[in-house]
Amino acid sequence: MPEETVPPPPPIPSTAFAYAPAPPPRRRSAGFWLLIIGGSLLMLALLIAGTVWSTMQSLKADDSEENGIATSSKKIGVIEVTGVILTADTLSQQMRKMAADSDVKAIILHINSPGGGAAASQELFNEVVRIRKESHKKIIASIESVGASGAYYIASGCDRIYANDASVVGSIGVIMEWTNYGELLRWAKLKNVTLKAGELKDAGDPTRDLTPKEQSVWSDRRRCADRGLSCERRRARSSEPQAEGSRS
């Protein structure tokens, strides 16, 4: 029996893979770029406008805080008396401004100060008393944590004082002090050299003790300060308002 011959399978045609080249990037039109630039400028303008508006609102808030608390055309002026009182110029200007403003019906001195210079405190005290007499506006002292020495002296000229039970109020007095470090200089083998054209020009030099004459002069000045302090106390007591134990 003859063997059957199986024909070989037909060859598989090779497949050719053709890769089409990527299309060139589409060029943006001029209108597209104008739209992008315009949108960016609009966002920048909105950002600037928002910043300006926020600044104006902040300035209005600051002005409102300086000039007073307004509910309508009537206002209550609030003046901050904080820190050490070195000069009376700024506070006096604020008080005179509020005294001249017909919309301000009363003035609050918000005090948080340990006091300061005797002259500045005296000037502010006089300003408070003058405004009360001339403008007939109520001036109220509201003491936060501290209202001592010159700060209390200013408050004593007001119509009324309000303070918290934990507030430090009072302590009018005069003090003068310095540190004598002469022994330290001598230990370090250092010598202080002073050139002066007056016997008492270096009185109070912290590198040495006071001479008997300097002690006498300082004692006289202390007595002058005591006399001035006694005068201040008399004035404060004569115009001292009723004090309230707590604030609402």
User: Does residue 28 lie in a domain region?
Assistant: no
196 is known as an active-site residue: no
Give the closest residue to 235 by CA, choosing from 83, 118, 112.
118
What type of residue is 200? L
Q: Is 88 exposed, middle or buried (0-12, 13-18, 19+ CB in 10 A)?
A: buried
Q: Is residue 2 part of a domain?
A: no
Q: What is the pLDDT of residues 59-68, one digit of tens each?
A: 665 555 445 5
Long-range Cβ contacts of 27-35 (<8 Å, 24+ apart)? none
The mean of the pLDDT values for the chain is 78
- Residue 247: per-residue pLDDT: 47
pLDDT above 50: residue 248: no
The rounded percent of the chain whose pLDDT value lies above 70 is: 69
Domain with 80 in it = 71-244
Q: Known catalytic residue: 201?
A: yes
**In CATH, what number is assigned to the domain containing residue 205?**
3.90.226.10
The most confident of 30-39, 135-144, 233-242, by mean pLDDT = 135-144
Residue 204 lies in a domain: yes
Residue 17 lies in a domain: no
Q: How many domains does the chain have?
A: 1
> How far from 202 is each of 132, 150, 180, 207, 211, CA to CA, in Å?
44, 28, 13, 10, 11
Residue 207 has pLDDT above 90, yes or no: no
In a domain, 145, yes or no: yes
From the candidates 60, 74, 201, 213, give the one annotated as an active-site residue: 201
Question: For residue range 167-190, what is the model confidence (pLDDT) as tens digits?
Answer: 888 877 667 778 888 888 889 888
Q: Is residue 56 part of a domain?
A: no
User: Which residue type is seen at 159?
Assistant: D
% of the chain exceeding 90 in pLDDT: 26
pLDDT per residue as tens digits for the range 8-35: 766 655 555 555 566 666 666 677 777 8
Model confidence at 108: pLDDT above 80: yes
Q: Which helix (H) or strand (E) holds 109?
A: strand 104-113
Domain contains 32 = no
Q: Which is the catalytic residue, given 135, 149, 156, 167?
A: 149
Q: Is the pLDDT of residue 143 over 50?
A: yes
pLDDT at 61: 54
Residue 207 lies in a domain: yes
